[in-house]
Structure 1
Amino acid sequence: MTASLTRESSKGFVPGIRLSDREETAGRLLASSARKSYDPVVEVDWEAPVPDDKFGMTPEWSTLYGTALWDELTDEQRIELTKHEAASVSSTGLWFEILLMQMLLRDVYDRNKHSRHVQFALTEVADECRHSVMFARAGERLNMPGYGPPRYIHHLGRLWGHFFKGANAYAAVMAAEEILDMMQRDFMRDERVQPVTRAVSKIHVLEEARHIRFAREEVGRRLNGASRLRLAIERINTAVVVYFVVKSMIHPDVYANAGLDTERALAEARNNTYHHDRVRKSGAKLMTFLDTVGLIGGPSKFLFKKVHLL
C-alpha cells in the first residue's frame, strides 16, 4: 500500500493519483461475487423442521457455558437458551448491517460511479440487504423475539451513522463483522446446531470474506500517513464501536425468556472466564491487524479489554 492510494472525486479520478491497486482489488471481488453469491430466500430451506434436540448455536459459544449455572441446566434448557442467544446475535447482526449499508452509500455518494471500487461497494450493499432479511427470517423461523441492541445503543448507532466516515467507519465495520464471523464459522460446521442457523451462518461467512477483505484494504489505504491526532481519533472510534457491538451481542432479556434467573445468569456470564478466553483467542487475528495499522493504543486498549478482546 502506497501513499498514492488516496481519494477520488465525483468527476473522476483525481489527477496524478494512482488508484490501480484499489481498482484491481475491487475488480477481483466483483468477479468473486459473480461466481459465488447466494440468495437466502431460495438457498435456505425456511420450511424445514426445527428439531427439538438441536442447539440454537454452538453451545461452547453460550455466555453461560462453563459456569455452574450451565451445569445445572437440563439439555432442554440449554437448547432453549442457545436459541435465544442465537436470535440475539442475529438481531445485532441485522442492526449493524443496516448501519454498514448507510456508511457505504454515504462513502460512495461523491465518488466516480464508473469505478470498480464503487461498483463493489454497491454490490456489498446488495449482499447486506439480503443478509438483513436472512437474519430477520432466521429469528422468525426459530420463533424467537426480535432482540437487537439496548435502546441507548440503538440511538447511538443512529448518531454514528450520521457523523462517522472514511477509515474510522471502515475499521469499525470490519472489526464488528469479524467478531460475528469468528462465531459463525463455528456455527456453520457444528452438526449439533439448528439447520437454519448453520445455513444462515455459512452464507454470511462466505460472503463476508469479500467484505472484510474490501474493508481491510480501505483501512490500510486511508490510514497511510495519518497524523497522530487522526490515529488517536480513529482508535477511539473503532474501539467504541467494537465495545458497543460486543456488549449488544447477547441481550439481557434472553435469560428471562429462556426461563432462567436473570440476575444470576447475568452475574455468571459477566464472570465467565471460559467465554472471555474464547472471545480473546478467536479475536486474536483481528487484534493483530488493528495493532499493525495503528488502531490499538491509549484509551482504546481499555475498551478492548472490557470486552475481552485483549
Structure 2
Amino acid sequence: MTAAMERSENVISLRDQGTEEVSARLLASAARLSRNAMTEIDWSKPMDPTKYGCSPEWSSLYGTAYWDELTEEQRISVTRHEFASIMNIGIWFEMILQEMVIRDQYLGDYHGSEFQFALTEVADECRHSLMFAKASEKMVGASYHPSKKVSRLGKIFMQTAKNEVAYAGILVAEEVLDVFQRGCMRDDRVLDFIRTVNEIHVLEESRHMKFAREEVRDSLEGVSWARRQFSAFAVAVGAYFIVTSLVQPKAFADAGLDVDRAVREMRSNSHFHSMIRSSCAHLMEFLDEVGLLTKPAMRFYRKAHML
C-alpha cells in the first residue's frame, strides 16, 4: 500500500469534529493528494491480453457452473465488460451526485469550508467520470446505461433528494464500490491501468465518504421519527436500484455469452451475493448508527443482497 493510500485511510478513521472542521481537513487533503488520471495513465499503452478487468472473484459469474465452462479468454473478456458496466453506471450516478451537491450548496457560505469542499467534490467527480469513460472506452469500446425505468427513477431522485437522503444515497454508491476497488487495485492479475483507476478513485472517494457521513449526521440532528422513517425508506429504494444496476445484461452480450443464462446465474450466485454483503458491512453499520436502518429499509437491502 502506498503512503498516499495509508493517508487516505486515516482520513476515513479520524474522529468526527463537525462538518466545517472535517471539510477544512478534507480540503487540505485534496490539495496535497489529488491526482489526474488523464496525465498519470498512459492511455496509448497496449493492454496485456492475459489480464482481467477486475479480480475474478468479483465477477458476478464467479463460482457458477457457467464460469466453470468458460475458457480463460472468455473469463478475461467478461470481467472487462462487467467492470466497464460498473464504471459506466458509476458515471450515471456521479452525474446525479453532482447535481444534488450543487443544489444543496446553492447560496451557501462561499467562504466556508463546507461550501468549498463540496465544489472540490464536484470537480473530483467530473474527473472521475472522464476517467471511467476513458477507461471503459479503452478496455472494451462499449458504453452502458441503466434501464429506462431506472434512468427515470434516477432523474426523479436527482431532482428531489436533499439533506440526509441525498448524502446517504451518495454514500451508498461510494461505499459499495470502495471495497470492490480496494481488492482489485492490489491484484496483479488485473490490467495495470485499471488498477491505477481504482487506486485514484479509492483515494479521492475516501474524502467524499467522510464528507457525506458528516452531512448525514448534521441533517438528522433533531429530526422527527416520521422523517427518519421516510428518509431510511427512500435511501434503501435508491440503493436497491443502484446495486442491482451495476452489471448490465448488455455486458454479457458484448462478452459473447448467453445473456439469459448469464443473468440467471448472476441473480442466483451466492458467492456474488456474499461479496456484495461484505462490501456493504461498513455502510450498514453507519446507517444503523444514525437510525436509517429501519425494518422497511432492511427489506430492500436484503433484496439487493446488501444485508
Pairwise CA RMSD of aligned residues? 1.0
1:81-119 Cα deviation digits (max 9, x unpaired): 001001000001111111111011000002111111100
Asked if the contact 1:149–1:248 (Cα under 8 Å) also holds between the matched residues in 2, the reply is yes
Distance in 1 (alpha carbons) for counterparts of 2:231 and 2:47: 43
Give runs of aligned pairs for residues 193-272 of structure 1, distance below 5 A. Answer: 193-272=190-269
1:229-258 Cα deviation digits (max 9, x unpaired): 100111011101111110110001111211
Asked if the contact 1:107–1:165 (Cα under 8 Å) also holds between the matched residues in 2, the reply is yes
Partner secondary structure for residue 296 of structure 1 = coil
Name 1:14's counterpart in structure 2: none
Q: Which runs of 4+ in 1 moved over 3 A?
A: none
Distance in 2 (alpha carbons) for counterparts of 1:230 and 1:262: 41
Please, which of 118, 138, 143 is the counterpart of residue 121 of structure 1? 118
Distance in 1 (alpha carbons) for counterparts of 2:184 and 2:151: 26
User: Sequence identity of aligned pairs in percent?
Assistant: 48
Name 1:66's counterpart in structure 2: 63
Asked if the contact 1:83–1:144 (Cα under 8 Å) also holds between the matched residues in 2, the reply is no
Gaps of 5+ in 1: 1-19
1:186 Cα offset (Å): 1.1
1:176 Cα offset (Å): 1.1
Question: 1:144 and 2:141 equivalent?
Answer: yes
1:42-91 Cα deviation digits (max 9, x unpaired): 01221121111000111101010000110110000000000100100000
Name 1:104's counterpart in structure 2: 101
Q: Which amino acid aligns with 1:269?
A: M
Give runs of aligned pairs for residues 113-192 of structure 1, distance below 5 A. Answer: 113-192=110-189
Partner secondary structure for residue 283 of structure 1 = helix
1:157 Cα offset (Å): 1.0
Partner secondary structure for residue 18 of structure 2 = helix
Q: Which amino acid aligns with 2:50?
A: D
Distance in 2 (alpha carbons) for counterparts of 1:63 and 1:80: 13
Between 237-246 and 139-148, the greater mean CA deviation after superposition: 139-148
Give the number of aligned pairs. 291
The structure in which a higher percent of residues are helix is: 2
Distance in 2 (alpha carbons) for counterparts of 1:36 and 1:148: 31
Please, which of 271, 276, 282 is the counterpart of residue 273 of structure 2? 276
Q: Which amino acid aligns with 1:123?
A: T
Name 2:48's counterpart in structure 1: 51
- Decide which structure has the larger Cα Rg and report it: 1
Q: Which amino acid aligns with 1:45?
A: D
